Every structure is written in structure tokens, then in C-alpha cells.
Amino acid sequence: MISMTATPLPAELEAVIFDWAGTLVDFGSFAPTRVFVDAFAQFGMEVSLEQARGPMGVGKWDHIRALCDEPAIANQYEARFGRLPTDDDVTAIYERFLPMQLEKVAQYSAAIPGAAELLRALRRQGLKIGSCSGYPSSVMRRVVERAAAEGLEPDCIVASDDVPRARPAPAMALKNVVELGISDVAGCVKVDDTAPGIEEGRRAGMWTVGLLLSGNAAGLALDEYLKLDEAGRQQARERARRELSPAGPHYLIDTVADLPAALADVQARLAAGKRP
């Protein structure tokens, strides 16, 4: 067998692929977490916002499965129903969750400050704009409808049930690559506020940017964020950094408003022949 060293393939920045809740809309990612709490309450279980945030980023059925696997929640279920929650029980909770999510999601899905301006700037640069979400397509339709009214209209939208396996697998990010006609995954940047979303981008061979303050990791409502002094923001950054760093993001920034500097660095690294 002859071993050869491959020459690095050249690539140019072509696209940015965004998550939705906590990234483009819903500062603090409250729409899914609050509804998880309410859905479990209908089955007589008490789930805190902090617990509900734990598996954020994966598909919603998988999220409920992960919550049901937590001993504190599984024990509540067993005390009430006499058994640990099965996949059928998870589906029952999901089926209760989904209509509640459909009812509430638009209410919480205001555009994150700077997001619409960023997308316009990316288009002026000739970049394509993709997106994907842990929401199923029925929920995404509600999110997209409100987002469009606020100037957020990506070129591609992929929901968790549009692929056989959602995050942290790379399928949603790679479906964007196919739909957008991208020539090289190294020319794509995945932007997300959760560890599974960052992992998705890395598994897809993309540059990845984690968001420290606008999403699930910090868990701050917009008004809470705006009231923080710099010391308070630094504490929130460190809390989010501990959650996101194990996924290995290439960059960590506060919100999408800070993305241009990271993209400029990616462009410079690509021009120097580097790849993710």
C-alpha cells in the first residue's frame, strides 16, 4: 500500500447555515422550553426550565425521550403510572406537546436584534443563507411565517422531520448543502446556540460558530440580557462557554450581530488554504 499526502482542496466561503430558536429568533430559546414544562405538567410531572433546556438542539421527540430518561423525571412518571416511560409514553407526551407548541411558538419567535440586518448583509456579499431546526415542519411553518414578516427569509429551511436522523447527526446541515447547490462543505459556516447544533455542523465538515448569550446555553430573556452590566454578561458567557465548548466550536460569539468578524476570519483562513 502506498501512502500519499493529499493536497488541501481550495474552498471559498459560500453559505451560512443558521439554527432558528436562540439564533435567529426567540432570544433565550423560550418557546420550546416553556412548552416542555407545560406538556409534562399535563401528565402530572414537574419539570423545571433548567431541566427542559438540557437536551436542547435535538429533535423534539428525542428531547422528550432524553428528559424521560432523567432519573428525577422517570421516577415521577413511575410513581404516577407504575412503570418507567416507554417509547409509546414518550410519543403520548410528544403528541400533547406538539399542539401546544403550535399554539405558542409564534408568540415567542420574535427576531433576535441584528438578525434581519445580518441576513441582508450576507446577501449583499453574495452568500447563500441556509437554516435548520429541531422543530418539526408543522411548527416551522408558524415560525417562518412570523420571521418573514420581520425580514428573516433564508434561502433554505430544513425541519427535523425532513431527514431520517436529526441533530447531532449532520443530515439537516447537509440537506442545506444539497438544496443550496454548495460546491464544498468547507465553504459553509454553521451557526447555533446548542452543543448538538454545533456538533451537527462539525460532523457535516463545516466551520462552526456557537452563540453564548442569545440562546439556550445562557437562558436569558432579551430584557434580562439588556439589563446586565458587563460583569453579569461575562458570568453568562462563562456559563454558556462551559456548555458549548465540549462540542468544539471554531468560534464563540455573543449573538448573530457579532458574526461578521468571525466570517471575515473564516474567509482569511480559507484563502490561506485552511479547512475546518
Catalytic member of 60, 104, 175, 190 = 60
Compute how many other C-beta atoms are within 10 angstroms of the C-beta atom of residue 43: 16
Compute how many other C-beta atoms are within 10 angstroms of the C-beta atom of residue 49: 12
For the question of residue 60 being annotated catalytic, the response is: yes
Sorted by sequence, the CB contacts under 8 Å of residue 65 that are 6+ apart come out as: 87, 90
H-helix or E-strand spanning residue 18? strand 15-18
Name the phi and psi angles at 2, rounded to 5: -100, 125
The number of residues making up the chain comes to 276
Query: Which grid cell sits at 167?
Result: 441533530
What region, left, alpha or beta, does residue 28 occupy, with left being phi > 0 and alpha being psi -120 to 50 degrees? left
Q: What amino acid is encoded at 105 in this protein?
A: V
For the question of residue 19 being annotated catalytic, the response is: yes
Catalytic member of 19, 62, 192, 193 = 19
Each as own residue / partner, the long-range contacts of residues 34-37 (CB below 8 Å, 24 or more positions apart, any chain) are 34/104, 34/108, 35/97, 35/100, 35/101, 35/104, 35/105, 36/63, 36/64, 36/67, 36/97
Edge-to-edge strand list for the sheet holding 207-211: 128-131, 15-18, 188-192, 207-211, 251-253
Give the C-alpha separation, 152 to 253, whole Å: 20
Give the C-alpha separation, 50 to 18, whole Å: 24
Catalytic residues: 19, 60
